[in-house]
Amino acid sequence: MLKTFILLGGLTALFMVVGYALGGEAGATMALVMAGGMNLFAWWGSDRMVLRMHNAQPVTEAEAPQLYRMTADLAARAGMPMPALYIIHEEQPNAFATGRSPERGAVAVNTGLLDLMTQEEVAGVVAHELAHIKNRDTLIMAVTATLAGAISFLAQFGMLLGRGRENRPNPIAMILMVILAPLAAMLVQMAISRAREFEADAEGARICGDPSWLANGLARLERGKIGHVNQTAEANPASAHMFIINPLSGLRMDRLFATHPPTEERIARLMAMGGMPPQARPAAPRGTSPWSAPAQRNPWA
């Protein structure tokens, strides 16, 4: 958490440097005010915005009894309130969490994931998302994405404004700032995202009680992603860091700026937690999705 807040401080400082380069002390002050306003928006509205963006539909216990009860049981084991539960009608298997605090958390899984994965794998994925909510990663990542996007916007906007000023900065320096400031912001965002993913994997394994559940789930998600393009995520790549695995297909060289660590490394770390080498425990055979069926014996109790 200390490293995360240092990186967030670095992003805020970079935002003020860009503001100062564009408008001196007044520009730095304006950038600070803008950062505060954007972070307030991220605090209050980012969760609802991303759920609407991906057309996530709320579900009740009556509509998805086993998924709902499993999530409630895992939340109790994590010592946190039951989050709001959403389902996204999307073939690419994936999931994400949002919400600024455990009391306002939400977990969204898509139909591709529910159709593809075993009960234990779904439990591992949901536990990972609960870990993000418990650690308040959802708030941190919303603020990080907001700041990174604002730095890119401010640098580009400043380049346009600078053209008509008599005392504008050196044009070469302006061009370098326009290129390097957003790049630095993206690198900081990547560093924060990757660190929080590793921590959520470890905490999720502790919540569900078996690291191999999440490890097998990650492997199945990575395989299931092949051949399925998430059009909503492609149109809104700023939300990609929220998903458990990168939903982007790499059509726009996304891999160069991936916000997720390599899935193979995540699996290896999880298996090391359980004292097993990667792929030592095979995944359970895939069956039909039980989540919309009448409730069965809860295997997570």
Q: What b/e sequence results for 240-265 when a residue is b if at least 16 CB atoms lie within 10 Å of its CB, and e otherwise? A: bbbbbbbbbbeeeebeeebbbbebee
In a domain, 128, yes or no: yes
In a domain, 103, yes or no: yes
Name the E strands within 112-185.
none
In a domain, 282, yes or no: no
Per the structure, the complete domain to which residue 126 belongs is given by 2-273
In a domain, 204, yes or no: yes
In a domain, 104, yes or no: yes
Record the pTM: 0.76
Q: What is the pLDDT of residue 283?
A: 42
**What average pLDDT does the segment 255-271 reach?**
82
User: Does residue 108 have a pLDDT over 60?
Assistant: yes
In a domain, 278, yes or no: no
DSSP secondary structure letter of residue 288: -
Just list the catalytic residues: 129
pLDDT digits (tens, 9 = 90+) for 213-258: 999 999 999 999 988 999 888 887 777 888 999 898 765 444 445 6
In a domain, 190, yes or no: yes
In a domain, 129, yes or no: yes
Alpha-carbon span 15 to 167, nearest angstrom? 21
Domain count along the chain: 1
Q: Where are the alpha helices (DSSP H) in 229-283?
A: 231-235, 263-273
pLDDT digits (tens, 9 = 90+) for 186-218: 676 677 778 889 999 999 999 999 999 999 999
